[in-house]
Structure 1
């Protein structure tokens, strides 16, 4: 039995392990970057996130707020929307397709 040092340079299995580890690290960084923080199990949209999600302008969101058509939270100068409120609003507005 030899006392040879095993490194990435002289062992393909070790090299493959470190390549897989780097790939896994990048995937985890991406997942954590896109994760929304929660408060008491509830997540929130910002004005910008909700406008992108619903594919409407931020001005339209402001109009809906002013009309009382969309629930929101105002925290200082920041507007937040509960994810559950938005889902409920969309479900309540769902209309079945009419058949001719």
Structure 2
């Protein structure tokens, strides 16, 4: 009967697989945005990053009614679909696109 230690080739392969799985799970947990009823909600930091604007500009968008939002106690969230619609509605084609 062979003694299997942590230095055994099979065990080393298992540890490698476990480490890869751990890294993949950590990556998914960072990028995963859970949805509620099929809708994904973003916080102000995520929206600022997507729109490339400051927190103050984002607040102006809210105050001016430019961007819909949900106000919770101590938290403001935005529907990802509202951000997508905002970008699509304000898309301006280049002259080259119009010629095609």
Same fold, TM-score > 0.5, yes or no: yes
| Counterpart for residue 89 of structure 1 | 86
| Counterpart for residue 3 of structure 2 | 5
| Counterpart for residue 39 of structure 1 | 36
User: Please, which runs of 5 or more residues in structure 1 have no aligned partner?
Assistant: none
- TM-score (structure 1 length as normaliser): 0.85
Aligned length in residues: 97
Q: In structure 1, what is the Cα distance between the partners aligned to 2:42 and 2:29?
A: 16
Q: Rg: which structure is higher?
A: 1
- TM-score (structure 2 length as normaliser): 0.85
User: Please, which runs of 5 or more residues in structure 2 have no aligned partner?
Assistant: none
Consecutive aligned runs of 4 or more in structure 1 exceeding 6 Å deviation = none
Alignment of 1:1-100 (within 5 A): 3-9=1-7, 11-99=8-96
Superposed displacement of residue 98, structure 1: 1.4
Alignment RMSD (CA, Å): 1.7
Q: In structure 1, what is the Cα distance between the partners aligned to 2:56 and 2:30?
A: 27
